[in-house]
Structure 1
Amino acid sequence: MNYQTYEPHIDLKSLISCYWTLEVPKQSETQKQRIVPDGCIEMAFILGDDIKRYTSENEFILQPRAMVLGQTIEPFYIEPTGFVKTFAVRFYPYGFANFVSEPISNLINKETPLSKLFEKETADDLEQKIIQAGNTIQRISIIEKFLIERINDEKTIDKIVKNTVDSLLFTNGSASIHSILKEHLSKRRQLERNFKKQIGVSPKQLGKVIRLQTALKMLLDQKAENLTNVAYESEYFDQAHFTKDFREFTGINPKEFINHENLSLSTLFYK
């Protein structure tokens, strides 16, 4: 399994967290992988064999080969059908809204083909260029040209929304909306309305996902001696609160997560 990340161009650093690639050889026996929320939106290109996304225990769809994965607030399973080769762009929570007119809330918990978000001819042309590129550096150059051309200079990230996201990231999701807005509490409704439009989820939901990320990284890096310490270091009220949120976003409890056999992909991304 080969997972690599790459820094974005300086003009896109405020909107894009990174580019990443993943290559996994074809396995004799494939296995479902549980993917847990990370608070980001991703544009992905499947360059290898198809990937299944399970919609129920036994039913699945094939992921679009050029798609945007919106905000996810619940875990889901994927399973490769053969050789895995993926190139993707990981946007900050408020980043992708700058490139499309589609409400971000329409993308939540699903994959949306690029052809549904951009003109079909444009989306198809971009996909073919990514496929035909000789290496990752060329793909990054192609996607950056595409994105930079689409930034609308007259459209700026809503300051209230960006400040809220920055505060949530800085405090690992533990900051309350009350403390973030302080003297501007009258703007809370405006914040929640604009936040949902640009991010796709509420401030509270994003805060919970970010705080969970802190706990997940501690579990995976084995930086805490027990679950009580993980809850404390992640600033949960108590272990019961931690376990409740953990199960909401991963579908299992923390003890099950640590040794779960189908979490190798999520482990890779979080570490």
Structure 2
Amino acid sequence: MSIPATFHPDPALASCILSYGIAEVAESTVAPFFSPPIGLSAFIIQHQSSTGTVVAFVQGHPMQVNQAIATGQLTSAITGYYTGKVKTLLIFFHPLGMHQLFGLDMHKLTNTSMNLLVLLGKEKGKYLLNRLEKTEDNLSLVYILNDFFKNQISVLNDTTGIRKVLDFIHLHQGNVSIKEIEEHCYVHRKSIERHFLYQVGLSPKIYTSIYRFKCLMNYLQQHPNTSWLQLSSITGYYDQSHMVRYFKEYLKVAPKELVTLDTELINYLLSRS
């Protein structure tokens, strides 16, 4: 699968939406894809011009694949393939973004998907999809998405506390314990876990593990000649075997087998942060 073209959201949406991606697969193409957990939720919309099909699995179970879906946080990889001509719009949300905009209990979307017409309501969902299908120009599609999400912005539950926790995790590249989060953010463990599940969709422990692995992969992309032993030390793992465990959990391969994967697409997805 080709690397999606990346577009930035309107500045007014920057606290909720990280980026847009538009990926295209040509006619008569069978393109496999593999996405590890990336610590984000997303909307995935197949443009009206698509004539092919998309098949996806998570934890061995087929994901709901409609013209437009919302996906929550993942704890394991998505695998699948595109067949034929497909144009896909990807909206990557800040870890709190989908909850902020739509008030969802994000834990209910973890490792699964929801038809966008159910999430948005038929009237609002069809309005968005009808506008998108009237153009194939990428900049016009981004304009329509920006316009839609800006009109969606509303005051929801206060997310200040969890945003502070996320900022602390990101600052330390995922190398923090729950105890350190408690002490720095002045909040009790049970409160953190309850609000994290509701607003982000994962426990803080799992989210920090995923984020640390994202930082590892981003470091490896920038420093490809780093040895595995050096990499494990630099990125905060106890030792090399500890790091290998997360390669196998999130990428389904050992580090030495990384070359068998489409690392270009994987690096693109893991760089969304």
- TM normalised by structure 2 equals 0.89
Q: Give, in whole Å, the separation in 2 of the partners of 1:129 and 1:36.
A: 31
Q: State whether structure 2 residue 207 is matched by structure 1 residue 206.
A: yes
Number of the residue aligned with 1:44:
44
Q: Percent identity?
A: 21
Cα 1:170–1:10 shift into 2, 3 Å: same
Number of the residue aligned with 2:228:
227
Q: Give, in whole Å, the separation in 2 of the partners of 1:2 and 1:252.
A: 21
Q: Give, in whole Å, the separation in 1 of the partners of 2:46 and 2:151.
A: 23
> How many Å apart are 1:263 and its aligned residue?
4.9
> How many Å apart are 1:221 and its aligned residue?
4.2
Q: Give, in whole Å, the separation in 2 of the partners of 1:101 and 1:131.
A: 27
- TM normalised by structure 1 equals 0.89
Please point out which of 123, 127, 130 is paired with 1:128.
Answer: 130
Q: 1:215 is aligned with what amino acid?
A: L
Cα 1:270–1:158 shift into 2, 3 Å: closer
Number of the residue aligned with 1:3:
4
Q: Please give the per-residue CA displacement for 1:124-159, whole angstroms capped at 9, x wherever unaligned.
A: 221121122342222222222222222223x25422
Q: Answer whether contact 2:3 2:264 (CA < 8 A) is retained.
A: no
Number of the residue aligned with 1:32:
32
Give me the CA root mean square deviation: 2.2
Q: Give, in whole Å, the separation in 2 of the partners of 1:191 and 1:133.
A: 43
Q: Please give the per-residue CA displacement for 1:209-250, whole angstroms capped at 9, x wherever unaligned.
A: 111112222334453431111111211111111111221222
Q: Answer whether contact 1:224 1:230 (CA < 8 A) is retained.
A: no
Question: 1:54 aligns to what SS in structure 2?
Answer: strand
Q: State whether structure 2 residue 57 is matched by structure 1 residue 54.
A: yes
> How many Å apart are 1:191 and its aligned residue?
1.3
Q: Answer whether contact 1:32 1:262 (CA < 8 A) is retained.
A: no
Question: 1:90 aligns to what SS in structure 2?
Answer: strand
Q: State whether structure 2 residue 150 is matched by structure 1 residue 148.
A: yes
List alignment gaps of at least 5 residues for structure 1. Answer: none
Q: 1:38 is aligned with what amino acid?
A: I
Number of the residue aligned with 1:110:
112
Q: 2:34 is aligned with what amino acid?
A: R
List alignment gaps of at least 5 residues for structure 2. Answer: none
Q: 1:181 is aligned with what amino acid?
A: E
Cα 1:157–1:86 shift into 2, 3 Å: farther
Question: 1:99 aligns to what SS in structure 2?
Answer: helix
Number of the residue aligned with 2:237:
236
Q: Please give the per-residue CA displacement for 1:54-84, whole angstroms capped at 9, x wherever unaligned.
A: 3577x75662221112101101211001123
Deviates more, 1:100-109 or 1:18-27: 18-27
Structure-to-structure mapping, 1:231-270, within 5 angstroms = 231-257=232-258, 259-270=259-270
Q: State whether structure 2 residue 86 is matched by structure 1 residue 66.
A: no
Q: Give, in whole Å, the separation in 2 of the partners of 1:120 and 1:141.
A: 21
Q: Answer whether contact 1:33 1:263 (CA < 8 A) is retained.
A: no
Q: Give, in whole Å, the separation in 2 of the partners of 1:242 and 1:193.
A: 28
Number of the residue aligned with 2:97:
95
Q: 2:54 is aligned with what amino acid?
A: I
Cα 1:121–1:113 shift into 2, 3 Å: same
Number of the residue aligned with 2:178:
177
Q: Give, in whole Å, the separation in 1 of the partners of 2:133 and 2:191.
A: 41
How many pairs are equivalent?
267
